[in-house]
Amino acid sequence: MTAPAPATPVALGTGPAPALEIRDLVVRYGRGRKARQAPPAIDGVSFDIMPGETLGLVGESGSGKSTIGKAVLGLQPPTAGTVRLHGQDITHMPLKQRSRQVADLRVVFQDPYSSLNPARTIGKTLVEPLRLMGVTGREALAKARSGLESVGLPGDAVDRYPAQFSGGQRQRIAIARALVCDPKVVVLDEPVSALDLSTQAQVLNLLADLRDQRGLAFLFIAHDLGVVRFLSQRTVVLYRGQVMETGPVDAVALAPRHPYTVALTSAAPVPRPAEQAARRAAREALGMGTAGTAQASATGCPFVPRCPLSTDVCVEQRPPLRRLDATLAACHHAERVPAR
């Protein structure tokens, strides 16, 4: 059996300290013998996010995007690896301790309808995380009002209930709840996928403005590379818990060097039927298999069963992340990937 290649961090070089550091993260579901025998949901993922930067995690359903988010938030214990927030190791920090010490880390969930308690006013929802930090009374309510105004909602919305708001407004409220504690790192778990296109654009513009104004670091989880490209500076493409390709988001989206990234970009919907048909034809011409057609290789590249470029070495050896032009790609035959 060939040992997996060591993970390569996404952010390299010198400069300011990362806001969030993930190193060699492994997550297996289950306990004991069952967990040891199960394939890892996350397998050796490493990346950094700098202050004021958005890193996009993109991949198909089941690629491990949300599992990474859960591991960062402490909702899923990692099997191996480390998670550091501003240099502090929070990998196995208990949730109670997190609530006191990790005010710098917050989350915005996917569904704006189920993420807010319908029986509580917006004010009570926004004040709750402040209470855990010791902020109470008029000061907490003033911060809640200010938080709503920062996302484009009136301060008097604190007295209203979630049912009185649209989906886009509810997501703005969820963003206000995440930012009311003045965090430095925010996990955005598919924050616009449940919204219509016009509302998506509004929320993405709002997030970009807030990031730039406050110097926030965003971990942006999404399945659509086009949406990731709108908000992110860099992206990590995941497949079956492994990094397939990473680099500046424009380079990954416009000149992908991994066959899986080519398939992912070709499958992304576009509003022009002729272009959509051309993308579909290009995908079919590559001979790309569909998701779940076969089990991944236990020792080599997980994309082998679907890849038209695969050879014996792909089955036997896990490809390391290596630099090709502006990106890093985990592919033995990346030079053979046709230019788009």
- 128 and 143 Cβ atoms separated by less than 8 Å: no
Nearest to 142 by CA among 180, 107, 178, 186: 180
pLDDT tens for each residue of the chain, 340 residues long: 344 444 445 444 446 789 999 999 999 987 777 767 778 999 999 999 999 999 999 998 889 999 999 999 999 999 999 999 999 999 988 877 777 666 889 999 988 888 899 999 999 999 988 887 888 889 999 999 999 999 999 999 999 999 999 999 999 999 999 999 899 999 999 998 888 888 889 999 999 999 999 999 999 999 888 889 999 999 999 999 999 999 999 999 989 999 999 888 877 666 667 766 766 666 666 666 555 545 556 689 999 988 888 899 999 999 999 999 899 999 999 998 876 6
- Residue 87 DSSP symbol: T
CA angle 316, 318, 291 (to 5 degrees): 90
pTM: predicted TM-score of the whole model, two decimal places: 0.88
Cβ neighbours of 70 (radius 10 Å): 19
What confidence tens digit (pLDDT) does each residue in 258-279 have?
Answer: 999 988 887 766 666 776 676 6
Report the mean per-residue pLDDT for the chain.
Answer: 86
What are the residues whose beta carbons fall under 8 Å from the beta carbon of 34, sequence distance 6 or more? Answer: none
Distances (CA, A) of 146 to 114, 180, 337: 23, 8, 50
- Residue 288 confidence (pLDDT): 61
Provide the CATH topology of domain 20-252: Rossmann fold (3.40.50)
- Whole-angstrom distance, CA of residue 270 vs CA of residue 290: 20
Cα–Cα distance for residue pair 71/89, rounded to 1 Å: 13
Domain boundaries, the chain: 20-252, 255-339
Pairing mode of beta strands 20-27, 80-85? antiparallel
Q: Position of tokens 């995908």?
A: 283
